A and B are shown apart, each in its own frame.
Chain A
């Protein structure tokens, strides 16, 4: 068990480009969460999956954001037509049966220039 893995750790992109992040949860964890965090703020919930089903999406998740979890394993978060306001740390977490404890990855730091 290597914990929750996120790639890449850092991403620098130009405004208007598309970016995709990957999250590999702890094996056999059925729930997977995406959060976004800006400097000085706590993480903000974006969306979560139970297995391959996306069960909840925050209103923060605009139409430019899409998340998938094919086959209930890894997940991807894509941001289309990035804007400078998308610059943030994107965190992924997973939880197992009981869903009491979330295990977080180290995040992907996105900088939009």
Chain B
């Protein structure tokens, strides 16, 4: 079963920042937080992952709370192409366990 809780849906105005929350209160010390997204009719796409420090790449920023029980994915300037289902996943550091997806958050970016 998925170890994360996400809101089922969110809206965001085009050009504004999209902040997607995720709760993972049972996360273990060696587990990472991963984010993937799935655009309609495509396979999931990796976005970012982190352990406890905030992370940023060309796609997004990941903010993890100090107690690591929750995190927020930030898309700084959402575009219509960011409309997708976003999945927050907790996974062990060894990479020996498969990704376990929940239902994710359906983000709709509105013009």
Contacts and interface: CB of A to CB of B under 8 A. Distances in A.
Interface of A: 4, 33, 35, 40-45, 48, 56, 91, 93, 95, 98-107
Interface of B: 2, 36, 41-46, 49, 85, 87, 94-96, 98-104
A102 B42 contact: no
Given A41-B103, A43-B99, A104-B42, 15 more contacts: A33-B98, A42-B87, A42-B101, A42-B102, A42-B104, A43-B101, A44-B101, A45-B98, A45-B99, A93-B44, A95-B95, A98-B95, A100-B49, A100-B95, A102-B44
Given A93-B43, A106-B42, A107-B43, A99 B103 contact: no
Nearest to A98: B95
A48 B99 CA distance: 11
Nearest to A104: B43
Contacts of A91: 43-44
Contacts of A48: 98
Which secondary structure dominates chain B's binding surface?
loop
Given A40-B103, A102-B46, A104-B45, A56 B98 contact: yes
